[in-house]
Amino acid sequence: MTVREAYAATSVAGVDVAKGTAVAVVLGGANRDPAVFVDPDTYDITRPDADQHLSFSAGTHFCLGASLARLEARIGLRLLFERHPSLRVAGQGVRRSTRVLRGYASLPVAL
């Protein structure tokens, strides 16, 4: 969740937002927007519109570290699956309680 302050009066999805109003943006919700994604609750990185996600935000405040984060993920995940080709989820994960960087605190896997 990101909080921004409206620098001018505007309207978002039919809701008037006065100048100076704090607006909480829930990017995790945007990534499950049924108006953007078909079957939005299914995790599918191969979907044709996968690049429409807002996990790194968008516009002026787009994440400066996005390229580094993508590179780290590419290298890390490739190595993980090369070393453990049979790796699979083996139980219920425990979600982090934060709404900012959402994800799992733990996820049991079998190697």
The residues of the shown chain that bind ligand HEM, judged by CB under 6 A, are 2, 27, 55-57, 61, 63-65, 68-69
Match 């943006």 to its residue by tokens.
25
Widest CA span of the chain, in angstroms? 54
Q: How far is the CB of 77 from ligand HEM (least distance, A)?
A: 12
**Which strand (E) or helix (H) includes residue 79?**
helix 66-83
Choose between 106 and 110: whose C-beta lies nearer to ligand HEM. Answer: 106
Q: How far is the CB of 96 from ligand HEM (least distance, A)?
A: 13
Residue 107 neighbours by CB distance under 10 Å: 13
Choose between 38 and 68: whose C-beta lies nearer to ligand HEM. Answer: 68
Choose between 64 and 111: whose C-beta lies nearer to ligand HEM. Answer: 64
The alpha carbon of residue 47 and the mean position of all alpha carbons in its chain are separated, in whole angstroms, by 15
Amino acid present at 81:
F
Q: How far is the CB of 111 from ligand HEM (least distance, A)?
A: 24
